[in-house]
Amino acid sequence: MGSRFDRRVLPWLLLTPALLVVFGLVVYPVGRTVWLSFRSAGLPYLASGQSRFVGLDNYRRLLTDAHLREVFVTTAVFGFACVAATMAVGLAVALLLNQPFRGRGLLGVLVLLPWAVPRVAAGVVWRWMFDDRYGLVNWALSHLGHDFTGFSWFNARLPAFIAVGVVVVWQSFPFIALSLLAGLQSIPPEVREAARMDGAGPLQMLRHVTLPMLRPLLLTLIVVSTIWDFKIFDQVYVMTGGGPYRSTELAAITVWREAFARLHLGSAAALAVALFAVLLAMTIGYGRLARDEMALR
Amino acid sequence: MRRRSPFLALVVALGLLPGCGALTPSAGARSARGPLQVWIMEPGSAELRAFFTSATTEFESAHPGDRVSVQFVPWASAHDQFVTAIGGGQTPDVAEMGSTWTPEFADIGALEPVDLTGRYVPSLVDAATLGGKVYGVPWYAGARALIYRADFLRSLGLAVPATWNDLLTVGRAVRDRARMPAFGVAGDAEHYVLPMVWQNGGEIAVRKDGVWRSGMSTPPAVAAVQFYADLFRTEHFAPAGALSWNARDVRQAFAAGDLAMMIGGAWDLKAILAAHPELAGKVGTALLPAGPAGDRSSFAGGSHLVVFSGTKKEAVAHRYIDFLLDPARVAAFTSRIGFLPATLGSAGGVDPATAEAESDPLYRPFATQLDDHSRTYPPTREWGGFEADGLFTAAVQQVMAGRQSADQAMKGVAKAMDEAFSG
């Protein structure tokens, strides 16, 4: 074995197992979904592989079907709202945990608990908390002044989404808080001290020192949260099932309903591909943003 | 390190994108070794698991060498799980299947035809028949009837409702005088509202020249849906949250003492009384109230035992089905859970378990409802999809919420059904 062999082939040889795994787990399923999105396939496809090429028909349906269009808008609005709320709560908790006070360690552990709860379990528990008659939420809200007795959270779209949103944010802020806490602790104390010497108040400190220094981390976390919150399935499936009258259907729920209930596998695939494309575009967009940011420094 | 973070984000993002894990019970049907894989539907009854634990032991000791692995699948997600299993080639060997789904899965060749020996409830045989072949052995049947709080009605001096009009009168009295929810009008319970179409003299679908056509937009069907929705919307017989209730929520509310009347099966009543022994003697049962057409039909639900095609354990599969269908075992099973046997007595008479059910006045209406006042949904391969899709419930919820008229909503339902029927 000469040194040329080592230099050219060895890296690929070493990479092969990883590439195979990536291909099997990512490239093949995505490719298969794209292929299916150009075909008309129902239950017989699952049993015997029967399907028919239909060109762009499935994609045309995405644009012409009023319900599907609405689902995309709903998913985007709900997704961004959840990202914003998660980041806000996560940042607030991170800032709190970054303060030295007694019991900080214990609180830090407690804050992580929602993250550890399986999503389906959280959905079931919270659905009971939001129950119209036996729920803790209505009881607590009623004691806070406004009468919520018998208020039914899952009867209309907005309250249902508020309930689901609370659960989504509750489950995703710990990761954000933990990451931001790590980021906060990596900010050199000299910088803060210098700012304080210059007379910066807490808000100015946050705006002009802390947030700019956390920016790359924040962007990454926003990307990750966006991807999570655009493909929310479990909590909605458990809490509302997309109802009432399909008003709380998010894209992932619609993909599932198209595929497993209506057995329109082709149009479910088209919907999944569209969701994939949107998320990919956003990810690339965020990536660019972060790179430009870096270049400016 | 810093420079790499956008790239890192992209990689992380790509890795996170295809996150669609299907939850399927594991099965290894395609292998000739290992235990027989059996899926049994889970109606939310603790008794069911106990029955199968002892039945499996009994079967295995009676047939040395045969092993059985039973998995319980909740009704609500069972249709999805069958679809997933077929797609992944991971079907069980034997399964219990909801009678309205059998034609759909038989149509794509997922099920083996079976030979029926013995006599079964005819509607359940029809429900398993496709193109002249039978694809499932009827196991048990059940029909929902009216379950009510006898103590409440008695204290208000009210008679048990026998007609839709009575239901309104009694419901209003309960609502106004006892100030409590009168009737479980649930938004997510198709087996409550669809039989009302029959009760009102309508048809859910009719077959003409070999093609099914929806009957849901005909006047009797529209009026039935309107009547049901009005019980919620204008009469306020149920709390506001009932818009998104399913049958299980209704059962819970009734068990908690928060509901005077509900539609339910004997399996509901058994579960309620098992969890709340204090309700014994305070509960009554009756046939469903008759509609203006004089009809009081309920949906004759039931299940089939099916063998999935591609099984390598056909002999064991049939041995196991025969074992479950042993008349004494069917009787023990059905009376324990609150179903009725789908087998008919050998001499043309009533099956022992049915006879037992009919001897208890509390459970007699369920048997009468099934024998004399029940019908099945159109046995078409499309029906399973309608149920799984929530086609009926989503439309009924629109009417209950007052977002659409019954006429509008049912036109949409009929259109969707006809499109599905015409392929």
Contacts of B395 in chain A (CB under 8 A): 245
Compute and round to an integer the Cα radius of gyration of chain A.
24
What is the pLDDT, as a whole number, of residue A5? 64
Per-residue HEC secondary structure of B252-282 comes to HHHHCCCCCEEEECHHHHHHHHHHCHHHCCC
Between these two residues, B3 and A161, which has the higher pLDDT value? A161
Between these two residues, B403 and B26, which has the higher pLDDT value? B403
Measured CA distances, A177 to A59, A85, A132 (Å): 39, 12, 31
Classified by CATH at the fold level, domain B145-299+378-421 comes out as D-Maltodextrin-Binding Protein; domain 2 (3.40.190)
Tokens 């602790």 belong to residue: A185
Is 60 exceeded by the pLDDT of residue B399? yes
Instruction: List the single residue in B with minimal CA-CA distance to A214.
Output: B2
**Domains along chain A with CATH numbers:** 1-27 (no CATH), 37-296 (1.10.3720.10)
Is 60 exceeded by the pLDDT of residue B348? no
Q: Do B187 and A223 count as a contact with CB atoms less than 8 A apart? A: no
Is residue A261 within 8 A of residue B79, CB to CB? The reply is yes
Q: Do B18 and A29 count as a contact with CB atoms less than 8 A apart? A: yes
| Portion 233-272 of A in contact with B at CB < 8 A | 240-246, 252, 255-257, 260-263, 272
Mean pLDDT of all residues belonging to chain B: 86
ipTM: 0.78
Answer yes or no: CATH 3.40.190.10 is held by domain B36-143+300-375: yes
Q: Give the tens place of pLDDT for each residue, B127-143.
A: 898 888 999 999 999 89
Mean pLDDT of all residues belonging to chain A: 88
Contacts of A134 in chain B (CB under 8 A): 256
Nearest to A271 by CA among A65, A14, A53, A15: A65
How near does any CA of chain A get to the CA of B107, in Å? 9
Is 70 exceeded by the pLDDT of residue B10? no
Range of weakest confidence among A44-53, B223-232, B376-385: A44-53
Q: Do domains B36-143+300-375 and B145-299+378-421 have the same CATH topology?
A: yes
Q: Do B18 and A257 count as a contact with CB atoms less than 8 A apart? A: no
What is the pLDDT, as a whole number, of residue B14? 41
Sheet of B145-149, strand order: B261-264, B145-149, B283-286
Q: Give the tens place of pLDDT for each residue, A263-291.
A: 888 999 999 999 999 889 988 888 887 77
Per-residue HEC secondary structure of chain B comes to CHHHHHHHHHHHHHHHCCCCCCCCCCCCCCCCCCCEEEEEEECCCHHHHHHHHHHHHHHHHHCCCCCEEEEEEEHHHHHHHHHHHHHCCCCCCEEEEECCCHHHHHHCCCECCCCCCCCECHHHHHHCEECCEECCEEEEEEECEEEEEHHHHHHCCCCCCCEHHHHHHHHHHHHHHHCCCCECCCCECHHHHHHHHHHCCCCCEEEECCEEEECCCCHHHHHHHHHHHHHHHCCCCCCHHHHHCEHHHHHHHHHCCCCCEEEECHHHHHHHHHHCHHHCCCEEEECCCECCCCCCCEEEEEEEEEEECCCCCHHHHHHHHHHHCCHHHHHHHHHHHCCEECECCCCCCCCHHHHHHHHCCCCHHHHHHHHHCEECCCCCCCHHHHHHHCHHHHHHHHHHCCCCCHHHHHHHHHHHHHHHHCC
Nearest to A51 by CA among A65, A62, A35: A35
Q: pLDDT-based confidence at A91, cuts 50/70/90?
A: very high
Between these two residues, B372 and B222, which has the higher pLDDT value? B222
Q: Where are the domains of chain B?
A: 36-143+300-375, 145-299+378-421
Q: pLDDT-based confidence at A3, cuts 50/70/90?
A: low
Q: Do A286 and B7 count as a contact with CB atoms less than 8 A apart? A: no
3-state SS class at A146: coil
Residue B19, chain A, CB below 8 Å: the answer is yes
List of residues 6+ apart from B374 with CB closer than 8 A: B123, B143, B297, B298, B299, B300
Nearest to B300 by CA among B308, B288, B291: B288
Q: Do A228 and B239 count as a contact with CB atoms less than 8 A apart? A: no
Between these two residues, B207 and A286, which has the higher pLDDT value? B207
Is 50 exceeded by the pLDDT of residue B29? no
Q: pLDDT-based confidence at B357, cuts 50/70/90?
A: low
Q: Do B104 and A255 count as a contact with CB atoms less than 8 A apart? A: no
Buried b (16+ CB within 10 A) or exposed e, B383-399: bbbbbbbbbbbbbbbbb
DSSP string for residues in A26-49: IIHHHHHHHHHTTEE--HHHHHH-
Between these two residues, B345 and B336, which has the higher pLDDT value? B336
In one-letter notation, the amino acid at residue B49 is: R
Contacts of A224 in chain B (CB under 8 A): 9, 12-13, 16
Between these two residues, B19 and B79, which has the higher pLDDT value? B79
Q: Give the tens place of pLDDT for each residue, B154-182.
A: 999 999 999 999 999 999 999 999 999 99
3-state SS class at A52: strand
Q: Do B388 and A245 count as a contact with CB atoms less than 8 A apart? A: no
Q: Give the tens place of pLDDT for each residue, B94-140.
A: 999 999 899 989 988 899 999 887 788 888 888 898 888 999 999 99
